[in-house]
């Protein structure tokens, strides 16, 4: 099983090597083999007596991160969808993408996506699941931005990335929470300990984070906005990622965790409310679109909302219908995307306002489209699978099993009506899609290309999918018992009879279906009349405006803030640094009572010392006041010589010597350089800057004084001076203790101090001798 | 005496930082010089000042019991040399920078990509 999941990744590594044969054979042929192999491998598991299979591979055992694959009915459904539709899409893309495209990149991203999607649905370890989850976001980002020369592609890719990664990180939060609570990283292990999570005080947070991850990935309201923009991807990608697989990852997650969560009332309320809103909003908005893929994108949103709401209902029938509809939706939506791709490919346009009357030009495509779109609409014909799942959906919405109180009662009452409302619009856009493209007046002259039937290879994949629609429609039991029932069992956790047998007779769901057809037909025919309603309803409610505004504001304000303090002025940075030091130090001293004065251990005052100190103060202040360069340099020298006099007074002969020499050399250096420097000028700062400078510098000086006094007043242990003085002669063989420390006890300091001098000398040499070309002197 | 030295070190820091906050390079270098003087004095003061009879210079002599602390002196010696190296580097840097850019005003020295 590990090999099956890793196969796409392995092939992705070899794709660049295949580019040698690029001119002879389309890369897609090699790629198609992989999902076919995976499909064949996993289809063996189908059967009435299927039991969950677990495989474990060691990855990071010390962190409880192992690659654990858990194949139950639900995973099997998804694995077969991913590999099956993956094979069809890979085959379709051979004819869709020309050899002049960057096929290597395309198929590498495609295989990465397929492998990570397989990983998502098979992983039992939550951290492995999360890794694959983000991998799908990443590869989806790459695929949406495949034509990266187009601005819209980059916009769509960034948007989907931001939204799905936002959700992915929330999901990570939920997963970490749950694995910490239950002390296991296994999903099944968590479900076994569900009471621990359900009764925890953070449960609402966990639920929200988890659902945020699922809703963003599955394009639920209000996070659906990335999906229509992801239609900038090549059509095979839209067919694969944005109808059949990736957008169902969120559905998968909710289904996977629903054995644990569905007993909670909030799960029902949140999931079914958001699902039904998504259903209604998506189908309502789909009618407004003029781009074929735009219609399909909103249709996907609405169908995902329908599946999500059924998972929220949590009754046996609803779960069965949800799982059944996952399969049905993948078949008809995949084929519809491919149909849209064919229309685009053969006419050069996807704009439904320009298209029309293509039935005579593209007869096979039109046949596929009519079957798939009628299945999507849920038209009551006994050979379309969409009808069954819609029927089950109505049935489930009528039989909600909730304790009727408060909001839940309202929800229970409203649900059938909302379901019918959403389905009416589903009917409308499905009809609009088919009749707008293939019927009506043909204006061939305005199309970029003269339409003719697509090559056979391009038609193979949608034909297989539509055959799937019909086969499931005609013989639902063929896949029901050995396949769908196991998936539903994995979600609901109980054995139950197959509700799909109950489709006969005049029942309330059938009446609802007929209502949908009648009202839908009326709305289709009067579309021109009520079309203006779109000017009012999405108007301000547009989530895109909110998203664009947010992204724009974040960019603008963060730019403003950064430009606010990073203005390029070094003086300001120094002020900020010093002010930060001042505030933290004073605050720390005030809070801990750090300032102490102890006068017991002071050296005697000496008059020479004080007079030297006074002289140094005068000189130091003089450097500020003077506007003459020579004066400033000389009185800096006065400070240095004063310091060396203090060293003499305080019994530090070596220091005094060094200070004297260094000060002399420094002054000489200053005098050498100052001639070349521009003259000192009068101060040109504003008064407020000057006051600020004074406050900061005085504050800093006061701080240093306070630290010195406090440090002197609180000596906690003796100096190690005694050791040096005692051992200087016996260990170091010298009487000058300072020198012995410098070259013997702490010789390493001296070594690197010499290195510092050497580097400074070399740098100075380099700066003076090595010059760029642009300087003349 | 320590308190007076602490105050003196504080004043050296004050004037040094005030110079550091100016716009001209020469003033900034003078400021760093003052700050390093302040820091050296600060370290010396921390090592207990010994005037008069309290301690002799740390050179071992017959009959002397009390010496000043040699360790801060060794540290300061190292520091003096390093700050000398840095100051001379800064001076040459300032010289070159003002030559190339034609100004020694820090406010005018900004990156090209500044917006």
DSSP A140-199: HHHHHTSSTTSHHHHHHHHHHHHHHHHHHHHHHHHHHHHHHHHT--BHHHHHHTHHHHHT
Element at A468 (helix H, strand E): helix A456-474
Phi, psi values for residue B67, rounded to 5°: -120, 160
Q: Which of A542, A586, A737, A552 is nearest to A651 (CA)?
A: A737
- Cα gap A407→A412, rounded to integer Å: 9
Count of beta carbons in the 10 Å neighbourhood of residue A771: 14
Two structure tokens written together for A334: 């995949």
Locus of tokens 């995976």: A38
- Cα gap A73→A340, rounded to integer Å: 32
Reported as a pLDDT band with limits 50, 70 and 90, residue A546 is: confident
Phi, psi values for residue A71, rounded to 5°: -105, 100
Q: Which of A300, A295, A161, A290 is nearest to A242 (CA)?
A: A300
- Cα gap B70→A741, rounded to integer Å: 8
* pLDDT recorded at residue A411: 80
Arithmetic mean of pLDDT, A271-288? 89
Domains in chain A with CATH codes: 268-354+365-525 (no CATH), 570-716 (1.20.120), 720-771 (no CATH)
- Cα gap A426→A421, rounded to integer Å: 9
* pLDDT recorded at residue A502: 47
Alpha-helical (H) ranges within A531-592 are 543-565, 570-592
- Cα gap A207→A199, rounded to integer Å: 12
Reported as a pLDDT band with limits 50, 70 and 90, residue B103 is: confident
Locus of tokens 């002054």: A667
Largest Cα span, chain B: 70
Indicate whether A441 pLDDT > 90: no
Nearest neighbour of B21 by CB, restricted to A571, A633, A674? A571
* pLDDT recorded at residue A305: 92
Nearest neighbour of A655 by CB, restricted to B34, B54, B73? B73
Residues whose CB is less than 8 angstroms from the CB of residue A767 and which lie 6 or more positions away in sequence, other chains included: B92, B93, B96
Indicate whether A447 pLDDT > 90: no
Contacts 24+ apart (CB under 8 A), A561-565: A563/B115
Question: Minimal Cα–Cα distance from A632 to chain B, Å?
Answer: 8
Query: Chain A neighbours among B 41-100 (CB < 8 Å)?
Result: 41-42, 44-52, 54-61, 67-71, 73-78, 80-82, 84-89, 91-96, 98-100
**3-state class percentages of chain B: helix first, strand second, coil last, to nearest 5:** 65, 5, 30
Arithmetic mean of pLDDT, A349-363? 81
CB A647 within 8 A of CB A617: no
A568: left (phi over 0), alpha (psi -120 to 50) or beta: left
**Mean pLDDT over each residue of chain A, to the nearest integer:** 85
Report cis status (omega within 30 of 0) of the bond before A556.
no
Residue by residue, DSSP assigns A669-737 as: HHHHHHTTSPPP------HHHHHHHHHHHHHHHHHHHHHHHHHHH---S--THHHHHHHIIIII--SBH
Arithmetic mean of pLDDT, A673-684? 66
Two structure tokens written together for A566: 């990073």
Closest A-chain CA to B67: A725
- CA B35 vs CA A177, A269, A701, B38: distances in Å: 52, 67, 10, 5
Closest A-chain CA to B105: A678
Q: What are the chain A neighbours of B19 within 8 Å (beta carbons)?
A: 623-624
Dihedral angle of Cα A238, A240, A246, A247, to the nearest 10 degrees: 60
- A38-94 pLDDT per residue, tens: 999 888 888 777 788 888 888 888 888 888 899 888 888 899 999 999 999 989 988
- Cα gap A661→A641, rounded to integer Å: 10
Phi, psi values for residue B59, rounded to 5°: -125, 120
Do the Cβ atoms of B87 and A669 come within 8 Å?
yes
CB B35 within 8 A of CB B86: no
* pLDDT recorded at residue A64: 82
Q: What are the chain A neighbours of B43 within 8 Å (beta carbons)?
A: none
Beta strands in A475-542 (DSSP E): none
Element at A27 (helix H, strand E): helix A27-43
Return the percentage of chain A with pLDDT > 90, whole number.
Answer: 22
- CA A648 vs CA A569, B47, B68, B78: distances in Å: 41, 15, 12, 18
Two structure tokens written together for A442: 């043909």
- Cα gap B30→A514, rounded to integer Å: 92
Indicate whether A209 pLDDT > 90: yes
Q: Is B36 on the interface with A (CB under 8 A)?
A: no
Least confident of A49-63, A68-82, A218-232, A667-681: A667-681
- Cα gap A281→A419, rounded to integer Å: 11
Output Rg (C-alpha) for chain B, integer angstroms: 19
Handedness of CA A316, A322, A327, A331 (dihedral sign): positive
SS3 A53: strand
Two structure tokens written together for A261: 């969560």
Do the Cβ atoms of B13 and A701 come within 8 Å?
yes
Closest B-chain CA to A678: B104
- Cα gap A132→A110, rounded to integer Å: 14
Element at A249 (helix H, strand E): helix A249-261
Count of beta carbons in the 10 Å neighbourhood of residue A545: 13
Arithmetic mean of pLDDT, A318-336? 88
Arithmetic mean of pLDDT, A146-173? 91
- Cα gap A302→A736, rounded to integer Å: 89
Question: Minimal Cα–Cα distance from B33 to chain A, Å?
Answer: 8
Chain B interface test: which of A569, A574, A603, A670 (most B C-beta within 10 Å): A603
Chain A interface test: which of B9, B25, B28, B33 (most A C-beta within 10 Å): B33
Domains in chain B with CATH codes: 2-52+67-105 (1.10.287.3510)
Indicate whether A680 pLDDT > 60: no
Query: Chain B neighbours among A 672-701 (CB < 8 Å)?
Result: 673-674, 676-678, 680-681, 683-685, 693-694, 696-698, 700-701
Return the percentage of chain A with pLDDT > 70, whole number.
Answer: 94
Q: What number is the ipTM of this complex?
A: 0.93
Phi, psi values for residue A111, rounded to 5°: -70, -40
Chain B interface test: which of A624, A674, A707 (most B C-beta within 10 Å): A624
pTM exceeds 0.90 for this model? no
Q: What are the chain B neighbours of A640 within 8 Å (beta carbons)?
A: 33, 37
Do the Cβ atoms of B80 and A655 come within 8 Å?
yes
Nearest neighbour of B14 by CB, restricted to A616, A643, A700? A700
Phi, psi values for residue A603, rounded to 5°: -75, 160
Closest B-chain CA to A604: B1
């Amino acid at each position: 099983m590990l090999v099956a999941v890793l196969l796409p990744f392995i092939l992705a590594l070899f794709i660049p090597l295949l580019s040698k044969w690029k001119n002879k054979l389309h890369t897609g042929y090699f790629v198609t083999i992989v999902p076919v192999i995976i499909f064949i491998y996993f289809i063996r598991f189908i059967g009435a007596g299927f039991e969950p299979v677990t495989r474990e591979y060691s990855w990071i055992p010390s962190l409880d991160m192992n690659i654990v694959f858990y194949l139950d009915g639900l995973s099997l459904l998804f694995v077969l969808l991913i590999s099956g539709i993956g094979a069809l899409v890979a085959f379709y893309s051979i004819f869709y993408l020309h050899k002049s495209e960057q096929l290597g990149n395309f198929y590498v991203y495609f295989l990465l996506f397929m492998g990570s999607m397989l990983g998502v649905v098979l992983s039992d370890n939550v951290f492995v699941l999360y890794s694959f989850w983000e991998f799908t976001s990443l590869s989806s980002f790459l695929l949406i931005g495949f034509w990266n020369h187009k601005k819209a592609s980059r916009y769509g890719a960034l948007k989907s990335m931001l939204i799905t990664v936002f959700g992915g990180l929330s999901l990570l939060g939920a997963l970490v929470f749950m694995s910490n609570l239950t002390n296991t990283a296994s999903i099944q292990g968590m479900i076994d300990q569900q009471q621990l999570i359900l009764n925890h005080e953070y449960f609402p947070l966990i639920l929200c984070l988890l659902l945020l991850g699922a809703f963003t990935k599955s394009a639920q309201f209000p996070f659906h906005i990335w999906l229509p923009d992801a239609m900038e991807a090549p059509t095979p990608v839209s067919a694969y990622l944005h109808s059949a697989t990736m957008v169902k990852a969120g559905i998968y997650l909710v289904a996977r965790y629903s054995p644990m969560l569905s007993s909670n009332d909030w799960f029902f309320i949140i999931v079914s409310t958001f699902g039904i809103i998504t259903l209604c909003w998506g189908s309502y908005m789909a009618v407004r679109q003029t781009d074929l893929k735009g219609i399909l994108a909103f249709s996907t949103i609405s169908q995902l909302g329908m599946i999500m709401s059924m998972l929220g209902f949590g009754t046996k029938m609803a779960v069965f219908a949800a799982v059944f509809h996952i399969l049905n939706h993948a078949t008809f939506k995949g084929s519809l995307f491919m149909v849209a791709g064919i229309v685009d490919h053969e006419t050069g346009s996807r704009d439904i306002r320009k298209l029309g009357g293509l039935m005579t030009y593209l007869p096979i495509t039109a046949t596929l489209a009519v079957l798939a779109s009628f299945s999507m609409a849920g038209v009551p014909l006994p050979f379309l699978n969409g009808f069954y799942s819609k029927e089950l959906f109505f049935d489930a919405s009528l039989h909600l099993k909730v304790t009727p109180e408060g909001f839940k009662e309202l929800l229970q009452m409203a649900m059938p009506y909302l379901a019918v409302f959403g389905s009416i619009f589903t009917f409308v856009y499905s009809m609009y899609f088919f009749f707008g493209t293939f019927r009506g007046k043909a204006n061939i002259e305005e199309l970029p290309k003269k339409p003719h039937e697509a090559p056979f290879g391009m038609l193979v994949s949608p034909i297989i999918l539509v055959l799937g629609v019909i086969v499931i429609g005609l013989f639902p039991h063929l896949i029901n018992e050995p396949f769908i029932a196991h998936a539903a069992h994995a979600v609901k956790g109980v054995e139950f009879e197959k509700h799909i047998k109950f489709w006969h007779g005049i029942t309330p769901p059938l009446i609802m279906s007929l209502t949908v057809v009648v009202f839908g037909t009326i709305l289709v025919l009067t579309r021109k009349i009520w079309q203006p309603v779109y000017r009012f309803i999405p108007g301000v409610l547009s989530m895109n405006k909110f998203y664009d505004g947010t992204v724009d504001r974040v960019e603008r304000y963060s730019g403003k803030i950064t430009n606010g303090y990073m203005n390029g002025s070094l003086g300001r940075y120094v002020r900020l640094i010093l002010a930060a030091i001042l505030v933290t130090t004073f605050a720390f001293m005030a809070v801990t009572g750090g300032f102490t004065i102890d006068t017991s251990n002071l050296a005697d005052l000496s008059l020479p010392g004080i007079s030297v100190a006074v002289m140094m103060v005068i000189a130091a202040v003089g450097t500020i006041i003077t506007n003459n360069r020579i004066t400033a340099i000389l009185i800096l020298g006065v400070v240095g010589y004063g310091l060396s006099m203090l060293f003499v007074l305080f019994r530090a002969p070596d220091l005094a010597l060094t200070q004297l020499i260094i000060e002399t050399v420094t002054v000489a250096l200053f005098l050498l350089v100052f001639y070349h420097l521009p003259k000192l000028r009068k101060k040109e700062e504003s008064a407020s800057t000057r006051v600020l400078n004074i406050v900061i510098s005085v504050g800093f000086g006061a701080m240093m004084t306070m630290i010195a006094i406090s440090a002197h007043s609180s000596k906690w242990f003796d100096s190690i001076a005694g050791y040096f003085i005692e051992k200087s002669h016996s260990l170091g063989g010298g009487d000058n203790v300072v020198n012995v420390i410098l070259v013997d006890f702490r010789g390493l300091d001296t070594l690197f101090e010499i290195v510092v001098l050497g580097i400074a000398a070399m740098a100075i040499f380099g700066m003076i001798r090595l010059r760029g070309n642009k300087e003349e002197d | 005496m320590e308190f007076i030295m602490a105050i003196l070190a504080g004043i050296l820091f004050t004037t040094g930082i005030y110079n550091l906050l100016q716009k001209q390079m020469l003033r900034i270098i003078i400021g760093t010089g003052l700050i390093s003087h302040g820091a050296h004095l600060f370290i010396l003061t921390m090592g207990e000042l010994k005037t008069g009879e309290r301690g002799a210079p740390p050179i071992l002599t017959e009959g002397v019991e009390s010496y000043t602390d040699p360790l801060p002196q060794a540290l300061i010696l190292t520091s003096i040399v390093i700050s000398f190296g840095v100051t001379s580097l800064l001076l040459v840097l300032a010289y070159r920078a003002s030559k190339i850019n034609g100004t020694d005003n820090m406010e005018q020295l900004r990156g090209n990509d500044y917006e």
